[in-house]
Amino acid sequence: MKEKEKVLKEKARRQGLGIKWKMIGMIVPIVVIALLAVTIISTNKAGTAIDSVTSNYVNAEIEKNVTDIDANLESVRSTAENLSVFVSATYSAMPINGFQDVFGDMVLNSDLITGAGIWFEPYAYIGDENYAQEEYVGPYWYEDGDSIVEDWSYSNAEYNYFNQEYYLNAKAMTSLDAVITDPYYDPSSGTIMASCSAPIFDADGNYIGCVTCDLTLDIIAELVSSIKIGNSGMAQMISSNGTYIYCNETEKYENGENILNDDTAIKDVAQAFISNESGVEKFADGSMKFNAYYSTVPDVNWKLIVVMLQSEVEEAVNNIKSLMYVVGVVSVLLVIVIIYFVATAIAKTITEVNRFANELAAGDFTVNEMKTKRSDELGAMSKALNDMYKSNKNIIGNISNESGNINDSASTLGAMSEELAAEFSKIQSNMVSVNDAMMSTGAATEEVSASVQEVNTSVEDLARETETAGREVANIKQRAADIGAKSKAAHDSAIQIAEERREELETAASKAEVVNEIANLANSISDIASQINLLSLNASIEAARAGDAGKGFAVVAQEINKLATETDSAVMQIQETIDSVQEAFSDLSAGSNKLLEFLTETVTPDYDNFIEVGRQYGEDAELFANLSSKIEEMTDSIKASMNEVNKAVQNIAESTQETASSSADVTDSVNSVSDAVESVADLATKQQVTASNLSDIVSNFKLN
């Protein structure tokens, strides 16, 4: 036993590393890579999540303060709009001191508004006669301690409030809406200020001026300065063009500096603040990196910016990364240790299984069964090997005992197979002769069947042609009837048309008498014209005798003579036209009479001939229909007779085919049995060889 173990160990050494080290070599790198990947991915995801949470938190704080700032600005806009409505309703009747009471109370009661004014269009204010026909009417009230001061120093051409930004903003409005200018630093008050202006419209909707409310941004600056996020997050605010409203360096917003010209690195991202509504920008100032979060105040387009150190934002991410890397390293070490012990246990079991399998492969069935306590796949494999060991040991023992009996049986079976093969050879020869005779009979029957089928096909073709001829005869008969009916209708129509044209011609002849009457009237007119002509000649003679007194009458006589001449000429043209009409009517009457003679003497007899031809055509079609019917009956009779013959031939063919098939089946069975007998003989010979080989093989196994 010890020698075998030494041999197995030497064999394993020659083969290289064992399964334990192979498992460790394959699994450990995969697990290490997977854990590192999980660590890196988890760290990146955590960093992204924390960065997102930080951004959301900062943006939420900015939006909250933007909302507060917008609420303060909205209160100023609302106040300016209310004052505009008040002035619009009262400017035509209220004196200036009445406005002072309203505007002064508003300034004293507001924390944001430090001054307010009314700025009228030239000559628009008519409520106070002291200011009638004044081009500049712009009273301004501001707070001085607990009192209100009225200031008129801006109502002049030198200041010219018509060109100021607040006035132009209001004048550009088409409806009541307040506009706040960009903030500016007021040196007199030392504060950041902005002006809110609202247009004033009269009852007809015409622009008559504006109301302004100047607001100090100290409260907004104080609100911005109070924004603290984390340890480094500081807030600042710029106007829409980038001018500082508030930052942690007072001189910058007091001097009205622009963030685009800042002396720090924030100017690199300043254009993004001005161009975009909100977002986050990153910039570096030397070795320090910053995140700048920003958002926009509605309507005024001011930007609230919070700048934080990037290291503070990334601090939590770096802490998580460090923790994840430590956890990852510890996890890798634990996994390596666990894999080592698991691989050692698996390798030990596999080595024992390998040893047992090698002994069985060497043919040694005298060894003891393996002992195992594992319940996993390796335990199941060990039990399976034990079962195989017991089963194969029994099988090999039985083979050894029965191999001699198989050899004797094979010898006897071989002799019997040779005798059966000889008898089946004789049966096979006889069945071949029978099968040849039946095949000849079947061929003859098939030829008869084919001839009958051809005759039957010809009869069917004749029947189809007869049926087609019958249908055509029916169509011919119908067409003959149609020709007769149409010819009769045309005959009647021709006679009717001839009668109608004859009546119309007679009517036209009677109407032609009117032309003769016109000729008579023309002759009468010609006679009258001749008499008038003679009368005018006599009048001319009498006028000549009268001398100067008859000159006028002579002119009339000449005109009458002229009219008579023209009348005579017209009558001659009428007579010529009447002659032409009478000649044309005579030609038309002659042509119509010839057309009527053609209809009655030529067309009507032709239609009679057509009617007779149609009738004869129908009788011929009837004759052909009778002949087709008789041929169809004869083809049906022939077809029935040929079908009976075909059935008889088919029965003979089927009987012959069945006999031939049965003969072939018998022949095939004989051949199969003969082949089986030969196979049995061969099998008997092979069994003798197999029995001998089994005896040799079994002798190689150790069973006792």
pLDDT in tens, 80-96: 999 999 999 999 999 99
Greater confidence (380 vs 435) lies with 380
Of the pLDDT bands very low, low, confident and very high (cuts 50, 70, 90), residue 437 is low
pLDDT at 135 over 80: yes
Determine the average pLDDT of the residues in 522-535.
Answer: 73
Highest mean pLDDT of the ranges 308-322, 350-364, 434-448: 308-322
- Closest by Cα among 492, 11, 59 to 233: 59
pLDDT at 171: 95
The helix (H) or strand (E) run that includes residue 421 is helix 377-511
Q: Is the separation of the CB atoms in 656 and 441 below 8 Å?
A: yes
Q: Count of CB atoms within 10 A of residue 587's CB?
A: 10
pLDDT at 701 over 90: no
pLDDT at 354 over 80: no
Greater confidence (129 vs 700) lies with 129
pLDDT at 223: 86
Burial 280-313 (b: 16+ CB within 10 A, else e): bbebeeeeeebbbbbbbbeebebbbbbbbbeebb
pLDDT at 698: 62
CATH at residue 253: 3.30.450.20
pLDDT at 95: 92
In a domain, 260, yes or no: yes
- Closest by Cα among 647, 624, 644, 637 to 459: 637
In a domain, 31, yes or no: no
From residue 679, alpha-carbon distances to 172, 422, 670, 684, 686 in Å are 117, 14, 14, 8, 10
In a domain, 136, yes or no: yes
Instruction: Calculate ∠ Cα 607-613-617, nearest 5°.
Output: 145
* Least confident piece of the model among 241-255, 289-303, 566-580, 673-687: 673-687
- Can you read off the two tokens belonging to residue 475? 């169509």
Q: What are phi and psi of 162, to 5 degrees?
A: -65, -25
Of the pLDDT bands very low, low, confident and very high (cuts 50, 70, 90), residue 204 is very high
pLDDT at 319 over 70: yes
Of the pLDDT bands very low, low, confident and very high (cuts 50, 70, 90), residue 66 is very high
Q: How many domains does the chain have?
A: 1
pLDDT at 173: 93
Greater confidence (485 vs 529) lies with 485
Of the pLDDT bands very low, low, confident and very high (cuts 50, 70, 90), residue 483 is low
* Least confident piece of the model among 245-249, 575-579, 614-618: 614-618
Scanning 91-200, the segments in alpha helix (DSSP H) are 96-109, 165-171
From residue 687, alpha-carbon distances to 211, 394, 418 in Å are 126, 21, 16
Q: Count of CB atoms within 10 A of residue 54's CB?
A: 21
pLDDT at 584: 62
Greater confidence (450 vs 118) lies with 118
pLDDT at 210 over 90: yes
Q: What are phi and psi of 199, to 5 degrees?
A: -70, 150
pLDDT at 642: 63
Highest mean pLDDT of the ranges 262-266, 494-498, 641-645: 262-266
From residue 170, alpha-carbon distances to 240, 246, 249 in Å are 18, 26, 33
In a domain, 423, yes or no: no
**DSSP of 187-243:** TTTTEEEEEEEEEEE-TTS-EEEEEEEEEE-HHHHHHHHT-EETTTEEEEEE-TTSB
Greater confidence (306 vs 635) lies with 306
Determine the average pLDDT of the residues in 353-362.
Answer: 71
Determine the average pLDDT of the residues in 493-520.
Answer: 68
* Collapsed DSSP state (helix, strand, coil) of residue 615: helix
The helix (H) or strand (E) run that includes residue 542 is helix 513-546
pLDDT at 693 over 80: no
Determine the average pLDDT of the residues in 150-167.
Answer: 93
Fill in the DSSP letter of residue 181.
P
Burial 516-533 (b: 16+ CB within 10 A, else e): eeebeebeebbeebeebb
Determine the average pLDDT of the residues in 263-292.
Answer: 91
Instruction: Calculate ∠ Cα 511-516-521, nearest 5°.
Output: 125
Mean pLDDT (the chain, rounded): 77
Residue entry with tokens 């089927």: 654
Determine the average pLDDT of the residues in 307-325.
Answer: 78
In a domain, 8, yes or no: no
Distance, in Å, from the CA atom of 426 to the CA atom of 116, rounded to the nearest integer, reads 140
Instruction: Calculate ∠ Cα 685-686-688, nearest 5°.
Output: 70
Q: Is the separation of the CB atoms in 656 and 438 below 8 Å?
A: yes
Q: Is the separation of the CB atoms in 246 and 224 below 8 Å?
A: yes
**pTM (two decimals):** 0.45
In a domain, 668, yes or no: no
Of the pLDDT bands very low, low, confident and very high (cuts 50, 70, 90), residue 56 is confident
Fill in the DSSP letter of residue 702.
B
Determine the average pLDDT of the residues in 599-616.
Answer: 66
* Collapsed DSSP state (helix, strand, coil) of residue 64: helix
- Closest by Cα among 169, 165, 200 to 83: 200
pLDDT at 518: 66
Determine the average pLDDT of the residues in 192-204.
Answer: 93
pLDDT at 551: 67
Give percent of the chain above pLDDT 70: 65
In a domain, 272, yes or no: yes
Q: Count of CB atoms within 10 A of residue 383's CB?
A: 15
Sequence-distant (≥ 6) Cβ neighbours of residue 425 within 8 angstroms: 674
* Collapsed DSSP state (helix, strand, coil) of residue 311: helix
Residue entry with tokens 């008559």: 208
Distance, in Å, from the CA atom of 611 to the CA atom of 404, rounded to the nearest integer, reads 115
* Least confident piece of the model among 221-230, 373-382, 588-597: 588-597
Greater confidence (605 vs 434) lies with 605
Greater confidence (235 vs 532) lies with 235
In a domain, 190, yes or no: yes
pLDDT at 365 over 70: no
Q: State which residues form the domain around 57.
A: 53-312
Determine the average pLDDT of the residues in 222-244.
Answer: 88
Q: pLDDT by residue (tens digit) across 640-692?
A: 766 775 675 576 566 556 655 655 665 666 566 567 656 656 766 776 676 67
